[in-house]
A = this chain, B = another copy of it.
Amino acid sequence: MTHGQSSSAEAKATVIDGKAVAAEIIAKVAVETGRLIAAGGVAPGLAVVLVGDDAASQVYVGAKGRKATELGFHSVQHTLPLSTSEAEVLAIVGELNRDPAIHGILVQLPLPRHIDTTKVIEAIDPAKDVDGFHPINVGRLAIGERDRALVSCTPAGCLLLIQRVLGDLAGKNALVIGRSNIVGKPMAQLLLQESCTVTVAHSRSRDLPGLARQADIIVAAVGRPEMVRGDWIKPGAVIIDVGMNRIPAPERGQGKTRLVGDVAYAEAAAVASAITPVPGGVGPMTIAMLMANTLTAACRAAGKPEPTF
A202 interface residue (CB < 8 Å to B): yes
CB-nearest residue of chain B to A175: B199
A200 interface residue (CB < 8 Å to B): yes
A301 interface residue (CB < 8 Å to B): no
A115–chain B nearest beta-carbon distance, Å: 17
A204 interface residue (CB < 8 Å to B): yes
In A163-217, the 8 Å CB interface with B consists of: 170-171, 173, 179, 181, 185, 188-189, 192, 195, 197-202, 204-206, 211
Interface size class of A (residues with CB under 8 A): 20 to 34
CA distance A123 to B280 in the complex (A): 44
At the interface, is chain A mostly helix, strand, loop or mixed? Answer: mixed
> Judging by beta carbons under 8 Å apart, are A197 and B199 in contact?
yes
CB-nearest residue of chain B to A173: B206
CA distance A201 to B137 in the complex (A): 24
Write out the residue numbers on chain B whose beta carbons fall within 8 Å of the beta carbon of A134.
139
CA distance A139 to B139 in the complex (A): 4
> Judging by beta carbons under 8 Å apart, are B202 and A195 in contact?
yes
CB-nearest residue of chain B to A143: B181
A207–chain B nearest beta-carbon distance, Å: 9
> Judging by beta carbons under 8 Å apart, are A197 and B192 in contact?
no
The listed residue (B188, B192, B204) touching A195 by CB distance below 8 A is B204
CB-CB under 8 A for A199 and B198, given A145-B118, A185-B142: yes
A136 interface residue (CB < 8 Å to B): yes
A100 interface residue (CB < 8 Å to B): no
CB-nearest residue of chain B to A211: B197
CA distance A139 to B179 in the complex (A): 14
CA distance A118 to B192 in the complex (A): 21
A140 interface residue (CB < 8 Å to B): yes
Given contacts A135-B143, A142-B181, A143-B185, 9 further A-B contacts (CB under 8 A): A134-B139, A136-B136, A137-B139, A138-B138, A142-B189, A188-B200, A195-B204, A197-B202, A198-B200
> 0/1 per residue, A95-112, Cβ < 8 Å to B?
000000000000000000
30 of the cross-chain contacts (CB-CB < 8 Å) are A118-B145, A135-B136, A135-B140, A135-B142, A135-B145, A137-B139, A138-B138, A138-B139, A138-B142, A138-B143, A139-B139, A139-B142, A142-B142, A142-B181, A142-B185, A142-B189, A144-B181, A171-B204, A171-B206, A179-B192, A185-B192, A195-B202, A195-B204, A197-B200, A197-B201, A197-B202, A197-B204, A197-B205, A198-B199, A199-B199
> Judging by beta carbons under 8 Å apart, are B200 and A192 in contact?
yes
CA distance A185 to B193 in the complex (A): 11
CA distance A210 to B185 in the complex (A): 24
CA distance A197 to B211 in the complex (A): 10
